Structure 1
Amino acid sequence: MDANLKSLVLENSNDIVKMWLEEVQSSKNQEYTSTISDELFESTNREFVNVIFASIEKQGLSSELDDFSERLINLGWPLSYLTDGMQVFRRVTIDFILSQSDKVDSEYLSRVMQKVDAWVGPIINRLVNEYSGSWEHIVSLQRVALQELSAPLIPVMENITVMPLIGTIDTERAKLIMENLLDGVIKHHADVVLIDITGVPVVDTMVAHHIIQAAEAVRLIGSTCILVGIRPEIAQTIVNLGIDLTKFPTKSSLRKGFQSALELTNRKIVTTEEKDESIEKLIDSLDGE
């Protein structure tokens, strides 16, 4: 009987596919598929059902399942699309098999359901496992990328670097800031580092403590740290908390901090007029000699 059921399903795959596509298509208004174009939704559905039949026909789990799961993740489709689709396949396949029999008793129905479940179960497990594994891998890569972006050290001029901080600073991120700061100072031969906290929404005792630690570590390796982007409300919070930031320079904006950094490295910004006057004075002095 089992072989006959499989032959029946494979020989009538076109009819089952049609039934499956109609039912899946009717669910397109669900939240996770409502924004998908009709063309993409239809092509993905056809690929999905072809993968299902390929796995049944080969009497095993085909590599197409793994490839299909990975493509869905790259498209941003949820796992529920796979599980819902398999349940629909299970239901329409059972209905089709029963429609082809003149006599349906409880024993026959039980055998049909067991057989279809034996096809569907391993496919669902493989799809879910592959989807989950690929998803965890992608999330891991994204986490690494976000960590790299969460505390960047940007060289803006010779011996001057800037670390812009955006968002909440927790203990894990503070550790990353410290590591990137020290590595970057040495790598870029920075004499001055500007830590810009303009994008940090809250500066509490813990955040200030981490910043002070980072600044002290920079000082110990021979560089100067300037804290910039201190807004009035942040300044008031720092004062109310009794946080001591007198050990290193602070500025209200990145522009003012950069000017201080230039002074610390024996440089300054001059206008074109000032530059022209300096050149004229130099020419006059040479002429006098």
Structure 2
Amino acid sequence: MKAYIVEAIEEQKDVIAEKWLNELETVRSSWQVQKMSDDLYKTTNREFLETIYSNIEHTQAKLVEELKHFSDRIIRMGWSLNYMTEGLQAFRRTVLDTLFHMDTTNQFEIMDQIQNWIDPIINEIVRNYSGSWEATVSLQKIALQELSAPLIPVFENITIMPLIGTIDTERAKLIMENLLEGVIKHRSAVVLIDITGVPVVDTMVAHHIIQAADAVRLIGAKCILVGIRPEIAQTIVTLGIDLSQFPTKSTLRKGIESALHSTNRKLVSVDEEVGGEL
């Protein structure tokens, strides 16, 4: 930046800061930072102001390093990207307005220099926010994938996969992968697919379930579909979906009883067992 512009900014530093902080009050009322305590709000804004000022003559590497540190903090504090960009635009206007009153002959050069100073800061802030969002979305996606199709061992050689929510093609692929990996990992002889929490079973969903059952059967395990509610049964019949290739049960309990029977076991009540011993 031109030396005379840097000197002018340094000379009017306090004036610019006061004007900018006053203008931020209008911006603040539109975003969540209004919920923050005044002391923390003012302290953070002054810290941001010092970060901006310190980057008048810093290299790009230094700018990236300082803004990354600051961005991480304000993202954790919940400051929105819109507030940050609006605040920087307000700072740009404040600086230009102050400098234009001091120098009316070099306005185009001043505007160009201030633009080259503020734009990289805005770009870096946006980049840091975007990176944070992408990381958050990625972690959430992984967590949802882990929770969306779990395979739960309930007895030796018997596992359950409870399905909740809509099943699309991407999720069906995940169900298939988890089923096959889980059957091998848990050495399952019987897998119960519980669709109690699936709101709609249409032709596509049924196709995915049949594919999953076929895949399980190919690796030597048996698949039982449980949670067939009356309305689901009616839909299956109406659509002409053929589920005769593997057993179906209306409830999870009946499914578990069937699975135990398939592995030469059964549920016995405590009273019945004690009575037998007596």
TM-score, normalised by the number of residues in structure 1 = 0.86
Deviates more, 1:88-97 or 1:21-30: 21-30
| Matched ranges for 1:102-251 at <5 A | 104-105=103-104, 107-251=105-249
Output one character per residue of 1:101-160: Cα deviation in whole Å (capped at 9) or x when no partner: 2xx43x332232222112101111222223223322332232222222221111122211
Output one character per residue of 1:62-106: Cα deviation in whole Å (capped at 9) or x when no partner: 41212233344444543222211110110111223234x2xx43x
Task: Specify the SS of the correspondent of 1:201.
Answer: coil
Match of residue 53 from structure 1: 53
Match of residue 80 from structure 1: 82
Task: Specify the SS of the correspondent of 2:271.
Answer: helix
Task: Specify the SS of the correspondent of 1:56.
Answer: coil
Deviation at 1:248, TM superposition (A): 1.3
Quickly say closer, same or farther: Cα 1:254–1:13, change in 2 above 3 A.
Answer: farther
**2:13 maps to 1:13:** yes
**Structure 2 alignment gaps of length 5 or more:** none
Output one character per residue of 1:160-184: Cα deviation in whole Å (capped at 9) or x when no partner: 1111111211111111110110000
Match of residue 287 from structure 1: none
**2:99 maps to 1:97:** yes
Task: State whether residues 31 and 83 of structure 2, in contact with CA within 8 Å, keep that contact through their aligned partners in structure 1.
Answer: no
Quickly say closer, same or farther: Cα 1:207–1:116, change in 2 above 3 A.
Answer: same
Task: Please give the alpha-carbon distance, in whole angstroms, between the structure 2 residues aligned to 1:226 and 1:74.
Answer: 46
Deviation at 1:35, TM superposition (A): 5.1
Task: Please give the alpha-carbon distance, in whole angstroms, between the structure 1 residues aligned to 2:268 and 2:21.
Answer: 71
Identity %: 59
Task: Please give the alpha-carbon distance, in whole angstroms, between the structure 1 residues aligned to 2:267 and 2:149.
Answer: 28
Task: Please give the alpha-carbon distance, in whole angstroms, between the structure 2 residues aligned to 1:254 and 1:149.
Answer: 19
Q: Which amino acid aligns with 1:88?
A: A
Deviates more, 1:70-79 or 1:210-219: 70-79
Task: Please give the alpha-carbon distance, in whole angstroms, between the structure 2 residues aligned to 1:235 and 1:249.
Answer: 13
Quickly say closer, same or farther: Cα 1:239–1:44, change in 2 above 3 A.
Answer: farther
**Structure 1 alignment gaps of length 5 or more:** 281-289
Task: Please give the alpha-carbon distance, in whole angstroms, between the structure 1 residues aligned to 2:69 and 2:2.
Answer: 29
| Matched ranges for 1:237-276 at <5 A | 237-276=235-274
Task: Please give the alpha-carbon distance, in whole angstroms, between the structure 1 residues aligned to 2:259 and 2:243.
Answer: 18
Task: State whether residues 54 and 62 of structure 1, in contact with CA within 8 Å, keep that contact through their aligned partners in structure 2.
Answer: no
Task: Please give the alpha-carbon distance, in whole angstroms, between the structure 2 residues aligned to 1:82 and 1:53.
Answer: 16
Task: Please give the alpha-carbon distance, in whole angstroms, between the structure 2 residues aligned to 1:13 and 1:72.
Answer: 23
Task: Specify the SS of the correspondent of 2:162.
Answer: strand
Quickly say closer, same or farther: Cα 1:203–1:129, change in 2 above 3 A.
Answer: same
Task: Please give the alpha-carbon distance, in whole angstroms, between the structure 2 residues aligned to 1:134 and 1:33.
Answer: 19
Quickly say closer, same or farther: Cα 1:121–1:226, change in 2 above 3 A.
Answer: same
Task: Specify the SS of the correspondent of 1:51.
Answer: helix
Deviates more, 1:32-41 or 1:160-169: 32-41
Task: State whether residues 73 and 135 of structure 1, in contact with CA within 8 Å, keep that contact through their aligned partners in structure 2.
Answer: no
